[in-house]
Amino acid sequence: MLNTRSFALTVAIALLGPTALKAEVTTWQLGGSQPWAGQDTVSIMIDFERVPGAIQPVRVEPGVNIISLLDNWTTFRQPKELGYIDGERPRIWKWNEGNGDPTENGVALIDADSTTYNSSKAEGIGKQFFTIDLAVPMPAHTFGFHTPSGGFRSDGTPLRTDSTPAFQISIQEENSEIFAIKGPLPLARVVAEPTQNFAHDVRIGFDQQYVRFFRWARKFSIIDETALSRNRVSGSSGGQGNQARSLLGTISEFEIYGEGFPKRATYRSKIIDLGAEQNFGRLFFSATPMRFVAGEAVEVPDARAFAEIEVRTGRDDDPNIYHEYTVTGKEKVVSRARYENDLRTGFGRTCASCDFVQRSPRPGMRAAITYDRDNWTFWSTPTTQSGLPLNLDSGSFIQVFITLHSTRFADFVRLDSLWVERAPLLAARVLGEVAPLADPRPAHGFGEVALGEMVEFAYDLSASFSGGDQRGFDQVRIQTGARPAFKELLVGGQATDPTAVREEDDGLTVLLPERVTRANNAPLRIVFAAEVFELATTFLGTVTDSEVETLPQPIVSGDASELLSTNSLRVLSISDQQPALVQNLRFSTPVLTPNGDGVHDELRMAYSLYGLPEEVPVELAVYALDGRPVATVPQGLQTAGPQTARWDGRDAQGRALSPGVYLISVVLQSERRAAALLRPVGVAY
């Protein structure tokens, strides 16, 4: 067996950079020479025309009704259409849920036509409220409504004079649980609540702010009392129950005004067929921060606006799986066409003005829609930085979701183009599974290890090939999260010396002695030792070709070997008690001497973080012996595993501390509370 130290010199030759025989990396692009328009399924406040080849948010111009900038409105609080996602479609609904009847819902109130309106109805004031969802927060400062330009009430009163006696207007920037509560509760901020109104054209002004939701609610006033006093239904209270006479007030149109750019503009591409399955690399994009100044858009590097992009890939044209209820109430998979066209929804009303209720499961009724995780990746982590790897599985379909953010009314970002690296598959599929070497077939079906202990793992690989153009691979990279120790390579069950091995702080790379191809496809096992610092650790891996400029291909969890039974790349940690978040705190010196002589001028700390599911902010807290805090030193975002920090002996104001002994603690801004781990350090000059 070849020891890693004995061939460390070969690492630089074999692994520092491939000798490119040819380049196989190409790109898939949106924008620039490839049009944005027509490639989208969702676009909210996206301007396709202002700059050829680019997209940017639509600017809300003074005097333009914001409602007119949006289309594809739905009149339900919970739209029935497949694929609806909150924030990707504007809504207006009446009462609790909304109604598809155009004579009942608010569709006539957003059509920019003053001659259309909803006829007044003899119903309780409590049901007379509308909620408007603009889909994204808009820069708004005015809400208005007005009576129809023509027509008459049944008693001959001109509708133009049929003003609403009393109402309430409330607004809200983002979604919240209030929309799950039945009834006309006001939103986060009430901006108007007049008790007597005689105006036909109403405009309510407020400080400009980002607003997504508006709620107009009818209120009872003395004017209503006078009009209804002779027409009360027996048993009603103050004219506020069901009325025998329709309520005063007819609305023709809602209007919203403001100026500037929305807080968000969103673009979701179609699911785009790439023609063949391929691997994906880095995401690049060109975005220009802009500001609207004196009627013109100018490039401004410090504009408070940015683009955020997500990508997902798949092996078929639909990321969802559709189900129908069976006779026994269970679910079976059906086609999207049957689900969408033949099956009934699981919700219905017992009357036109009743809330939706769930029907009992039975055949012919829609059941769940689940995500096809076997064929589709989940959306990548939202990125605001160009050039980062997507870390997505291979696929023949791709979809992009873009959010253009702004935190200032005059600022926006223009997205000129984006492109994704792609390259042919190295193999049709590379399956992998991992287990502790001492427990290859764990009883629970997944590997269990102790936190922070060096454990040997067996990492088994199995490749399959489906075409002659899949050239295979000769290099395996495993993400371990902590510095690993290579132990052994087995090819076809036989111990084999690798050509080279590279052990890094977060992973292991093994260069195989022979390329894995269709003709040379023996099972692989890589044995390595590593510490686990997270409650659940996934040893993600890739394979690549060291001789060609191509893209790594992800290793996919699956049944790679009969010798292991986990079918997974994940292991879980076990512990009798919840581990301390910060452990193994070590100092480079017990005494800090920041006098500029180059010796112990800076205190370097090493420690390990345990059990963190994601990155959290970390800082050093320095205390005097009497408990008084003297310095806080942010360390940025850190995650589970070995970490480092530095301190130069200065306080929160940057002043050198007096000589003495101080206590230092590593503090995590985490939901889990942890006891402070304090260590003393001396400061001397």
Instruction: Please write the tens of the pLDDT for every residue from 475-525.
Output: 999 999 889 999 999 999 999 999 999 999 899 999 999 999 999 999 999
Architecture per CATH, 582-683: Sandwich (2.60)
- Reduced to 3 states (helix: H, G, I; strand: E, B; else coil), residue 307 is strand
Residues 143-173 have pLDDT tens digits of: 999 999 999 988 888 999 999 999 999 999 9
**Confidence band (pLDDT; 50, 70, 90) for 540?**
very high
**Confidence band (pLDDT; 50, 70, 90) for 49?**
very high
Beta bridge partners of 638: 616
Query: What is the pLDDT at residue 671?
Result: 58
Residues 4-18 have pLDDT tens digits of: 333 333 333 344 444
Architecture per CATH, 4-20+426-574: Sandwich (2.60)
Give the whole-angstrom CA distance, residue 136 versus residue 264.
6
CATH of domain 32-56+264-318+376-424: 2.60.120
Burial 158-181 (b: 16+ CB within 10 A, else e): ebbebbbbbbbbbbbbeeeeebee
Q: Which residues contact 444 (CB under 8 A, 6 or more apart)?
A: none
Mean pLDDT of 415-434: 96
Residue with tokens 């510490």: 531
Instruction: Name the nearest CA neighbour of 194 among 202, 183, 186.
Output: 202
Query: What is the pLDDT at residue 214?
Result: 98
Average pLDDT over the chain, rounded to whole? 88
Residues 66-104 have pLDDT tens digits of: 999 999 999 999 887 888 899 999 999 999 989 888 888
Query: What is the pLDDT at residue 14?
Result: 43
Query: What is the pLDDT at residue 229?
Result: 64
Q: What is the DSSP string of 328-382?
A: TS-EEEE-HHHHHHTSBPSEE-SSTTSPPEEPPP-TTBEEEEEE-TTTBPPPPPP
pLDDT at 456 over 60: yes
Please report which helix (H) or strand (E) contains residue 462, including its range.
strand 454-464
**Of 56-65, 119-128, 587-596, 638-647, the least confident:** 119-128
pLDDT at 240 over 60: no
Given a contact cutoff of 8 angstroms between Cβ atoms, the answer to whether 289 and 305 are in contact is: yes
Mean pLDDT of 521-546: 91
Residues 297-356 have pLDDT tens digits of: 999 999 999 999 999 999 999 999 999 999 988 899 999 999 999 998 877 776 766 777
**Confidence band (pLDDT; 50, 70, 90) for 638?**
confident
Give the whole-angstrom CA distance, residue 58 versus residue 50.
9
Count of residues for the chain? Answer: 685
Query: What is the pLDDT at residue 635?
Result: 85
Query: What is the pLDDT at residue 16?
Result: 43
More confident residue, 215 or 350: 215
**Confidence band (pLDDT; 50, 70, 90) for 119?**
confident
Give the whole-angstrom CA distance, residue 248 versus residue 244.
12
Query: What is the pLDDT at residue 103?
Result: 82
Give the whole-angstrom CA distance, residue 98 versus residue 184.
13
Residues 53-76 have pLDDT tens digits of: 999 999 999 999 999 999 999 999
**Using CB atoms within 10 A of its CB, is residue 580 exposed (0-12), middle (13-18) or buried (19+)?**
middle
Which residues of the chain form CATH 2.60.40.4070?
Answer: 582-683
How do strand 641-647 and strand 603-609 relate by DSSP bridges?
Answer: antiparallel
List, edge to edge, every strand of the sheet that includes 582-587.
582-587, 603-609, 641-647
Q: Which residues contact 132 (CB under 8 A, 6 or more apart)?
A: 67, 90, 91, 92, 106, 110, 213, 214, 215, 216, 254, 256
More confident residue, 404 or 346: 404
Mean pLDDT of 222-234: 63
Given a contact cutoff of 8 angstroms between Cβ atoms, the answer to whether 405 and 307 are in contact is: yes
Query: What is the pLDDT at residue 8?
Result: 39
pLDDT at 230 over 70: no
**Of 387-396, 560-569, 646-655, the least confident:** 646-655
Whole-model pTM? Answer: 0.79
Fold designation for 60-258: Jelly Rolls (2.60.120)
**Confidence band (pLDDT; 50, 70, 90) for 227?**
low
